[in-house]
Amino acid sequence: MSQKNRLDGGLIDRSETYSFRFDSKYHKGHKGDTLASALLANGVRLMGRSFKYHRPRGVMTAGSEEPNAIVELREGARKEPNTRATTAELFDGLRAESQNRWPSLAFDAMAVNDLLSPFLTAGFYYKTFMWPAAFWEKLYEPIIRRAAGLGSLSTQDDPDSYDKGFLHCDILVIGGGPAGLAAALTAGESGARVILADEDFLIGGRLNLETYVLGETSGTDWACETTARLAAMPNVRVMPRTTVIGAFDHGIYGAVERVSDHLKVPEDGKPRQILWRVYSKRAILCAGATERPIVFENNDRPGIMQASAIRAYANRWATTPARQVAIFTNNDDGHRTATDLVAKGVEVVSVIDARIDAPTSSDYDVIAGGVIDQTWGRLGLTQIEVKMPRGGIRRIKCGALGVSGGWNPNVHLTCHQRRRPVWNEALSAFVPGGTMPVGMSVSGAANGVFSTHGALTSGAEAAKAALSDLGMTAKSPSLPKAEDAPVNITPFWHVKTAKRAWVDQQNDVTSKDIKLAHQENFRSVEHLKRYTTLGMATDQGKTSNIAGLAIMAEVAGKSIPEVGTTIFRPPYTPTAMGVFAGRAWGTATRPTRLTPSHKWAEEQGAVFTEAGLWLRAQWYPKPGEKNWRESCDREVLQTRRSVGICDVTSLGKIDVQGKDAAAFLNKVYCNGFAKLAIGKVRYGLMLREDGMVMDDGTAARMADDHFVVTTTTAHAVGVYRHMEFVHQCLWPDMDVQIISTTDAWAQFAVAGPNSRALLYKIVDAEFDLSNEAFPFMACSEVTICGGLRARLFRISFSGELAYEIAVPTRYGDALIRRLMAAGEEFDVVPYGLEALNVMRIEKGHATANELNGTTTALNLGMGRMVSKVKDSIGSIMSERPGLNEDDTLKLVGLKPVNPDHQVPAGAHLMTKGAKVNAVNDQGYVTSACYSPNLGHHIALGFLRTGDARMGEVIRLVSPLMGVDHDVEVVSAHFLDPEGDRLRA
């Protein structure tokens, strides 16, 4: 019969019936059900198998603290393991599978572990699987790996989108129960900007789970009306399905909004979840409390639940786990469940109250002073055995047992910044400690105020105090009268005679494990946690931590507060990794920067590579070319033979102006810039404060007070930041203004013997490009193509006669096309990063490979560039003796003795005949390529005293790559060492 355990009433919408599947069976439920409530309604108590012992388990709670009923929800790529059935909103077509069992939930072969339990106690893996050592990797580990873990992943990419968002408010109210609603109402009506967040899809907290009367209406109706009132206020944002996962610095909270999890699939374009960063001036934590169980023999059978959960299921979800229910309690609250069940027509077979002075009732039988001695029913509770106060055992048949050991305020967020809660003897619970995270206050059950009246008034008071703090006048909303029952509890943590009793049900930690931990001297609460794994499962010990502490306290002869709590950390409940990433995954992990010629390059079929955030053309394959080397070699040969064009926009461009611009650059560069003539460019070397080379580039003097500085692509941002620091902190009195212009100008290198001829066709006629008028290292503002403003620099990275021409970026696309068209008569070739790199290695120019953060100007052969007639950053420190030893590394060229050999980067240079070790290491290769101009591989590298070892044959080794052959030390300037081509 469908939904055989349905009751009347509840807050479910019977007009909407949903069909869903759990394991291989189909069931029906209604809108407003959770997966757990719908399963219970269908008479399903068995929902999972425990982690270690594979014991049959059922749902224990009605909230996010659930340890047992965790399932794999949804199918295919959206499948998510370890989803709590208690918080999964039912939707039509929902699919869920139980976890950690094979072949089925009812018959799980791994339950054999339960028989092996004496060998599987806490920490067993520290004492077993040791011998023989060889068996570990091939046998033990794979077996353990297969057996361990709870759910399984789909291993497919998550198809959903997640967003990250930012909200601002005066007051963040965390939790929408009576305390939170009263706080939000008070703050909202006073005009403050309020955010009210609750993890549930229905705001109201316990008001929706109890049968309270508030004033003239039911708790449920009051919650509903109040929520509607709040939602209608323009200054209040009500956020259901939103868990505040953590309290971070400065009043910032993380909140995960489940936008689409209650739908089969998210709507097109909508995210599955949003991670909100909430910037609050004040926050009021109204997170309520969680009921804790009592530990007794076989207390983990399906059907044994929190007493408050049983009445929640009855009141809100109109369902019961069984038609005959017993209660085991140590406080008055357990009796509330009995009363509510009786009102719903469920038989309460007995209330076993551990207190000798327990209250009696005419509606149900009370055994005062009794305790549970044993339970029966492997796949679902069938019977309990009660040790009677005057001796003897009474057997009671029942299908469910509600357990109430008291309530734990949800203090977690007050402790996220390494604070600790304090013990409250009267409540037998931890409550928030003295200092809170900045701006936070606590009210309601989270603060140990358990009555509804107490929650309402403390919520309103907290809001008034927060408003007053913010300089706002508080209006007192009218709050209804509500119950104000006192807490009546006698501590009772566990039945001492129990042999197998569960404390942490998700990680299968028993009371025996805790005693074992104490015996083996793991006594601090943090060691207890890690040795036993108590509190380390996905439920973070929400229903087990305190009982565990209490047992440890007893065994250790301490008080509970002396044992203390472990550190609380975000997130409050398990959070999808995807929501932390937001949109930043795959290619969107970081922004992409495209060069002005990108579109044109794509049309040419260019192959792109990432250079930092930039996409740069690596080579431009022509039809028929079989590999990148063919393209690269062609581009190199053609550029040196005639003319080539390369987009060099990505290199940093920094505009430096002001009366002291030259003096400023003189500080930043180690070589001299003060006397650079207008219309000239100079290569510059920038040192770090410690004397190491930071970056190199050029500075072009466009006017007395105007330089254009270039940097490497990779270091553009770093150099700009460095220059800002220098200006703001080191020489704030200098009159210099700096701003980036990297993106603003499209810049192309035009290189090769025909580069001047090509540029004559582009640059307007009034500008004299002859070698006399525009020599090597000249620069000027020019116009091109009939008047477009441009900048021309005669600099060369390739070693050829070369220029760089810059135009405002929007014209970059047109310029490359014009250059290619104009260059057709010269067989112009576009060249990419590979060819650029080959040419600069052939020429001996350093790049980031050589400027690797450990090299000095001296290493680079530029020692004399560090001017000693002026002070500049790094100059003094570069004089340290350690950086100037006789045998210091020097930049050299290397070529293989056997022309068929390569000279790979990263390989090391060893003295011939010596052992290959660090002591005999003479240096290393930094850059390598095949030189089509020379017909063999070449490289640049650092070699001790390299400048004095020209012609020496030395051994090149790379044990990693299996390289071991001879190379010859040569000048780093393989081609045109005199620079004749440059100066043509």
Partner 1 sequence: MHDLAPIHALGGADRRSDTEGDVTLTENLGLALASVAARRGHEAACRAHLGALLEGAAPEPGKTVLHDPEASFWMGPDQWMVGALFESHEDLAVQLKARFEETASITEQTDGWVCFDMRGDGVEAVMQLCCNLDIEQMQIGDATRTTIHYIGVYVLRRDPANWLRILGPRSSAGSLHHALTAAMKAAL
Asked if 794 and 776 count as a contact pair (C-beta separation under 8 A), the reply is yes
3 state SS of 633? helix
- Give the binding range for partner 1 (CB under 8 A) out of 28-36, 239-247, 588-596, 920-928: 588-596
Nearer to partner 1 (CB atom), residue 28 or residue 818: 818
593 is an interface residue for partner 1 by CB under 8 A: yes
- Burial letters 427-451, b for 16+ CB under 10 A, else e: bbbbbbeeebbebbbbbbbbbbbbb
913 is an interface residue for partner 1 by CB under 8 A: no
Nearer to partner 1 (CB atom), residue 659 or residue 675: 659
733 is an interface residue for partner 1 by CB under 8 A: yes
| Binds partner 1 by CB under 8 A, chosen from 3, 5, 37, 161 | 161
DSSP string for residues in 7-66: -S--S-EEEEEEEEEETTEEEEEEET-BHHHHHHHTT--EEEE-TTT--EEE---SSTT-
533 is an interface residue for partner 1 by CB under 8 A: no
861 is an interface residue for partner 1 by CB under 8 A: no
- According to CB under 8 A, which residues from 242 to 281 bind partner 1? 268-271, 274, 277, 279
- Give the binding range for partner 1 (CB under 8 A) out of 83-91, 199-207, 350-358, 779-787: 779-787
What's the closest the beta carbon of residue 781 comes to partner 1, in angstroms? 11
DSSP state of 190: T
Locate 553 and state its tokens: 């306290």
611 is an interface residue for partner 1 by CB under 8 A: no
What's the closest the beta carbon of residue 238 comes to partner 1, in angstroms? 15
784 is an interface residue for partner 1 by CB under 8 A: yes
Cα separation of 140 and 441, whole Å? 50
320: exposed, middle or buried (Cβ count in 10 Å: 0-12, 13-18, 19+): buried
For 525-592, what is the HEC assignment?
Answer: HHHHHHHHCCCCCCCCCCCCHHHHHHHHHHHHCCCHHHHCCCCCCCCCCCCCHHHHHCCCCHHHHCCC
What's the closest the beta carbon of residue 829 comes to partner 1, in angstroms? 22
Q: Provide the residue type at 950 as one letter.
A: M
Half-sphere exposure of 112 toward its Cβ, with a 13 Å CA cutoff? 4
591 is an interface residue for partner 1 by CB under 8 A: yes
What's the closest the beta carbon of residue 838 comes to partner 1, in angstroms? 26
What's the closest the beta carbon of residue 272 comes to partner 1, in angstroms? 10
Cα separation of 416 and 245, whole Å? 10
Nearer to partner 1 (CB atom), residue 816 or residue 954: 816
3 state SS of 700? strand
- Give the binding range for partner 1 (CB under 8 A) out of 5-13, 652-660, 838-846, 923-931: 652-660
- Give the binding range for partner 1 (CB under 8 A) out of 27-35, 96-104, 156-164, 310-318: 156-164
- According to CB under 8 A, which residues from 736 to 765 bind partner 1? 737, 739-746
- Phi then psi for residue 778, to 5 deg, are -90, 160
Cα separation of 747 and 815, whole Å? 10
Cα separation of 932 and 842, whole Å? 10
What's the closest the beta carbon of residue 308 comes to partner 1, in angstroms? 37
| Binds partner 1 by CB under 8 A, chosen from 484, 704, 735, 827 | 735
| Binds partner 1 by CB under 8 A, chosen from 613, 773, 897, 948 | 613
Helices (H), ranges, 643-696? 661-668
| Binds partner 1 by CB under 8 A, chosen from 128, 360, 497, 592 | 592
Q: What is the CA radius of gyration of the chain?
A: 38
Nearer to partner 1 (CB atom), residue 434 or residue 787: 787
Nearer to partner 1 (CB atom), residue 36 or residue 716: 716
Cα separation of 663 and 427, whole Å? 73
425 is an interface residue for partner 1 by CB under 8 A: no
Nearer to partner 1 (CB atom), residue 276 or residue 430: 276
Helices (H), ranges, 642-678? 661-668
| Binds partner 1 by CB under 8 A, chosen from 4, 14, 168, 721 | 168
What's the closest the beta carbon of residue 749 comes to partner 1, in angstroms? 18
- Phi then psi for residue 136, to 5 deg, are -60, -55
Q: What number of chain residues touch partner 1 (CB under 8 A)?
A: 63
Q: How far is CA 313 from the centre of its chain?
A: 36
Cα separation of 108 and 115, whole Å? 13
658 is an interface residue for partner 1 by CB under 8 A: yes
797 is an interface residue for partner 1 by CB under 8 A: no
Cα separation of 399 and 377, whole Å? 9
CA-wise closest residue to 440 among 209, 286, 266? 286
What's the closest the beta carbon of residue 274 comes to partner 1, in angstroms? 7
605 is an interface residue for partner 1 by CB under 8 A: no
- According to CB under 8 A, which residues from 704 to 723 bind partner 1? 705-706
808 is an interface residue for partner 1 by CB under 8 A: yes
158 is an interface residue for partner 1 by CB under 8 A: no
Nearer to partner 1 (CB atom), residue 272 or residue 981: 272
Nearer to partner 1 (CB atom), residue 824 or residue 827: 824
- Burial letters 609-634, b for 16+ CB under 10 A, else e: eebeebbbbbbbbeeeeeeeeebbbb
| Binds partner 1 by CB under 8 A, chosen from 392, 471, 787, 882 | 787
Between 809 and 838, how does the x/- string for binding to partner 1 read (CB under 8 A)?
xxx-xxx--x--------------------
Nearer to partner 1 (CB atom), residue 253 or residue 745: 745
What's the closest the beta carbon of residue 788 comes to partner 1, in angstroms? 4
DSSP state of 442: E
| Binds partner 1 by CB under 8 A, chosen from 328, 572, 614, 831 | 614
| Binds partner 1 by CB under 8 A, chosen from 80, 655, 800, 804 | 655
What's the closest the beta carbon of residue 73 comes to partner 1, in angstroms? 23
DSSP state of 237: E
Q: Is the dihedral of CA 88, 430, 386, 308 positive or negative?
A: negative
Nearer to partner 1 (CB atom), residue 127 or residue 659: 659
- According to CB under 8 A, which residues from 558 to 587 bind partner 1? 583-584
Largest CA distance in the chain: 117
CA-wise closest residue to 94 among 159, 151, 46, 35? 35
Nearer to partner 1 (CB atom), residue 754 or residue 809: 809
Cα separation of 442 and 626, whole Å? 70
- Give the binding range for partner 1 (CB under 8 A) out of 75-83, 804-812, 920-928, 967-975: 804-812
Distance, first Cα to last Cα, the chain: 96
What's the closest the beta carbon of residue 430 comes to partner 1, in angstroms? 34
Residues that bind partner 1 (CB under 8 A): 161, 163-168, 193, 268-271, 274, 277, 279, 583-584, 588, 590-595, 598-599, 613-614, 649, 655, 657-660, 705-706, 733-735, 737, 739-746, 783-788, 807-811, 813-815, 818
